[in-house]
A and B are shown apart, each in its own frame.
Chain A
Amino acid sequence: MSIYSFTLPVIVFLALAAYFAGYRKALAVAGQSGGIRSLHSLPMHYGLVAAMASALPAITLLAGWHLAEDKVITAIITGELPKQLAQLPASELSLVLNEIKNIAFGGFSAATSSPAIQDAAVRYVELERTFRTIITVGIVAAASVPPVFILKKISPTLRARNLMEKALMVFLVGCSTVAILTTLGIVLSVLFEALRFFQAIPLVDFIFGLQWSPQTAIRADQAGSSGAFGAVPVFAGTILIATIAMSVAIPVGLLAAIYLSEYASPRFRTWTKPVLEILAGIPTVVYGFFAALTVAPLIRDAGSVVGLAVSSESALAAGLVMGIMIIPFVSSLSDDVIHAVPQTMRDGSLGLGATRFETIRYVILPAALPGIVGSILLAVSRAIGETMIVVMAAGLSANLSFNPLTAVTTVTVQIVTLLVGDQEFDSPKTLAAFALGLLLFVFTLVLNFIALRVVRKYREQYE
């Protein structure tokens, strides 16, 4: 870290110096050739170009070294190790290197290590110091030499503003590609691990298998440790909980949206809408806590009064609470959609003598249907991808059951349980999480894509 505490202020200082030098040079040049109006750009732009010429190469150098430092020094150290150490297999070699680094950074008592390793550690510190000195000199040079050339070039005809704007445009384009890079990152990270998983477990077994027990054996003779990766029970559980959630969210959300947009007085609306939106703002972990500690016991007790055996991690509890969480999504999206139906259609229907209910049922809903379907699809993708409520309130064991009173598990629960804790990236157990993630991503992507398409088409229809 010490390299930054020195170089960063130096870079900032040199860039500022370059700015002011550029500014003054521009004014001076302007003075010689007939006043400030002879300049192509504002003096500020000349200064900024000079500052940019100073800061950009220096920062690039610093960042590049930051990424490469460890690799370069390690490579040199490995080359210098005595023979019997250098010829170790890769896994043991990395242990040795780790030990060297630990001693070099002063974290370990050096007494227990062999002299060769201690020498290497001393060499590591030495190398690091030399390289950092070189890099620091390089940074100072990179921050001070290019602006000198720029300053020489400053003349009334230099198009400093255009240069600036070009640089800004590069930055803006870079920022807007972050979205694409994110998607690419998601696809690549999930896809690669998933492919490794499918090398161990055939795709067909994964998609159509009826057994899910991802605990693989540590010893070959362990009982119940074959590790079955049939994802059907996991999908079934996801679908069951999402169905329960949607059967709460769709009617309540739709009715609330219709009432608020068609019946409610403006005052009622201004008070009720924000309260409904609170539901969307509550973190999911709060819903999860509420589902696990309040709703689930309530349902279990109610069940035992009636004489039903309800699991304390029943799909019903998780589904109900998830449904309530989704109400505001359905209601605010369909509210927008209903609002977009032209007033003339309402007036026409009411003018013919239809009641408000009939207007809604026979005119508004059919007109708004595509949009409503789109918003429901978005809500479904939300329900499938929701994690915390099910992690806290649904079960862990994969039962192939459509009874809402039993405990089922979901895709997201499995991803969390497989990846939280110690991971080894060569066992199918960990990789299975990425396979599930891939399926979840693809499925929600398709849902979102269709939903956004439908909503957009629908909007265009009335615009």
Chain B
Amino acid sequence: MNNTATTNNDLLAPSKRLVKRYRAEKRFRRCGIAAITLSLAFVFFLFFTIFSDGISAFKQTWIELKVEFSNDLFANENLAAADYPGLVKRSLRTMFAEVKSRKDKKLLYGLVSPAAAYKLQDMVEADPKIIGTVQEVWVLADDDVDMLMKKKIDRTVPESNRRIRDIQLEWIDKLVAQGRLTTNFNRTFFTSGDSREPELAGIRGAIKGSFFTLLITLALSFPIGVAAAVYLEEFAPSNHWTDLIEININNLAAVPSIIFGLLGLAIFINFWGLPRSTPIVGGLVLTLMTLPTIIIAGRASLKSVPPSIREAALGVGASKVQTVLHHVLPLAMPGMLTGTIIGMAQALGETAPLLMIGMVAFIVDIPGTFSDPAAVLPVQIYLWADNPERAFTEKTSAAIMVLLAFLIVMNGLAVLLRKKFEIKW
């Protein structure tokens, strides 16, 4: 009471305690913003590294060779038996006549991909009349040349630490100056299967494998999931059995995916004797994995259909089954489809259980049926990521971009479906 003057002051200025409380408030708010910024920054960082690394894989380097299909090489009747790699080497030698030593010649041959020989063979088999003529042929460059053209091999690094020698650099510069070296769109990446040569490796086999696997997953998990959701939500009496099913579904949704792989290995492959590494087994395993997702989403969307719909249908004389099949299920369908698409997107990105059932084999052939050995897209990514060659890193990033594009399309579809058919009761 004696120091009225000071209290008056304090009434105008906030007390020390209040300042402290407000400061804590601000600090906390900043922490929250920092947490969100960190997560967002990570999303962008991840996308940025993968895009900047992978975008160049959609281009490919080609070298133009002057090939003389001289008659002496094709003396034999059998065109496939001719020495095509030798033909490639000979063309390179004539183009760079100054190269004399064995060692340099070997380096010279290293400029073009082994695929060049196959290309010449295809040309001859398609049109045997070119034998005896001289043709300008564009052939694939070796992956090291490709990396150099994409500036992923640094020219300033000392020669001993570089995969391209100085002398090869000279030749490449000469080819570029002559307009015999160019980069254009990489079609190989989308049309061929896996390969040990980075410039020949593509994702078509993996995409087809993923397609077959997902087709089986969808064909099994959608009907089973919808049926289970309908039963549990609409018909199941509430007893211990139903409780048990419910607990099981919730637990399965959180079981590590690799465990499903162990199940597939022990039961589908060892016990049932299904073939390893095939989309059938992969599809079965992924079905078991995605079922909980679909069932949970399906039940949620059945729950959101108001009881008045059911009462009205029952009121005009429909049976319980008719009520559900004719009225409730169609109204819940968009939600179920959304859940299914999200489940499929999960299945598309899943790798671990497929490793267990042997879908990690190196498979060059593009699978044609459900029982052919196949790789799937994420497993292909895993296999390439393990490969130490620089050119495969680029391919890995590009495959990831394709996988992410599929996932974005699928999730976008799910969002669209939800927005379009969402009913506010």
Residues of A within 8 A of B (CB): 161, 164-165, 168-169, 171-173, 175-180, 182-183, 185-186, 189-190, 192-193, 251-256, 258-260, 263, 272, 275-276, 278-279, 281-286, 288-290, 292-294, 324, 327-328, 331, 355-358, 360, 378, 381-382, 384-388, 391-392, 412, 415-416, 419-420, 425, 433-434, 437, 440-441, 444-445, 448-449, 451-452
Contact = CB atoms under 8 A, between A and B. Distances in A.
Contacts of B358: 420
Contacts of B266: 189-190, 192-193, 434
Contact of B25 (A253, A278, A324, A357): A357
Interface string B1-43: 0000000000000000000011011001101111110111011
Contacts of B263: 182, 185-186, 189-190
B80 interface: no
Contacts of B403: 283, 286
A437 B356 CA distance: 12
B375 interface: no
Contacts, number: 247
Nearest to A176: B228
A389 B386 CA distance: 13
Contacts of A185: 263, 267
B382 A282 contact: no
B39 A276 contact: yes
Contacts of A252: 35, 38-39
Interface in B65-85: none
B321 interface: yes
Interface of B: 21-22, 24-25, 28-29, 31-36, 38-40, 42-43, 46, 49-50, 223-225, 227-228, 230-232, 235-236, 244-245, 247-252, 254-260, 262-263, 265-267, 270-271, 288, 291-292, 295, 319-321, 345, 348-352, 355-356, 358, 360, 378-379, 381-382, 385-386, 393, 396-397, 400, 403-404, 407, 411
A434 B262 contact: yes
Contact of B256 (A275, A387, A391, A433): A387
Contacts of B255: 186, 385, 441, 444-445, 448
Contacts of A388: 351-352, 382
A256 B39 contact: yes
Contacts of B356: 415-416, 419-420
Nearest to A161: B319
Contacts of B352: 284, 387-388, 391, 412, 416
A384 B254 CA distance: 11
Nearest to A430: B265
Contacts of A416: 258, 352, 355-356
Interface centre among B249, B265, B291 (most CB of A within 10 A): B265
B35 A289 contact: no
Contacts of A176: 227-228, 231-232, 236, 245
B32 A385 contact: no
A180 B32 contact: no
Given A256-B39, A259-B33, A452-B251, A283 B256 contact: no
B262 A386 contact: no
Given A183-B252, A285-B381, A440-B256, A169 B39 contact: no
A391 B351 CA distance: 11
A78 B367 CA distance: 35
**Chain A contact residues: over half helix, strand or loop, or mixed?**
helix
Contacts of A179: 228, 245, 248-249, 252, 291-292, 295
Q: 5 nearest interchain CB pairs?
A: A385-B256, A259-B32, A283-B349, A189-B266, A255-B35
Given A282-B46, A420-B355, A433 B262 contact: yes
Contacts of A434: 262, 266
Contacts of B319: 161, 165
B381 A286 contact: yes
Nearest to B28: A357
Given A286-B403, A419-B262, 10 more contacts: A175-B227, A189-B266, A252-B39, A253-B35, A255-B34, A256-B32, A286-B404, A294-B49, A324-B42, A384-B256
A279 B298 CA distance: 24
**Chain B contact residues: over half helix, strand or loop, or mixed?**
helix
A165 B382 CA distance: 48
A381 B298 CA distance: 25
Nearest to A445: B251
A283 B38 contact: no
A283 B262 contact: no
Nearest to B266: A189
Contacts of B379: 285
A437 B258 contact: yes
B256 to A, nearest CB: 2
Contact of A382 (B24, B38, B254): B254
A290 to B, nearest CB: 6
A263 B254 contact: no
A384 B39 CA distance: 21
Contacts of A452: 247, 250-251, 254
A425 to B, nearest CB: 7
Contacts of B259: 186, 190, 385, 437, 440-441, 444
Contacts of A433: 262
Given A286-B50, A288-B382, A186 B262 contact: yes
16 contacts: A178-B224, A186-B255, A252-B39, A255-B34, A256-B35, A283-B350, A285-B351, A289-B396, A355-B21, A357-B21, A381-B256, A388-B382, A391-B355, A416-B352, A444-B254, A448-B255
Contact of A378 (B225, B254, B411): B254
Contacts of B291: 178-179, 182
Nearest to A417: B355
Nearest to A294: B49
B219 to A, nearest CB: 14
A175 B231 contact: yes
A96 B291 CA distance: 42
B349 A258 contact: no
Given A175-B227, A175-B228, A289-B381, A258 B32 contact: yes
Nearest to B352: A387
Given A355-B24, A412-B258, A449 B265 contact: no
B29 A175 contact: no
A328 B40 CA distance: 11
Contact of B46 (A161, A290, A384): A290
A292 B267 CA distance: 33
B411 to A, nearest CB: 6
B227 A172 contact: yes
A293 B231 contact: no
Nearest to B44: A275
Given A182-B263, A412-B352, A172 B251 contact: no
B385 A415 contact: no
Nearest to A274: B415
A189 B35 contact: no
Given A255-B35, A356-B25, A444-B255, A183 B349 contact: no
Contacts of B260: 186
Interface centre among A190, A360, A412, A419 (most CB of B within 10 A): A419
A171 B227 contact: yes
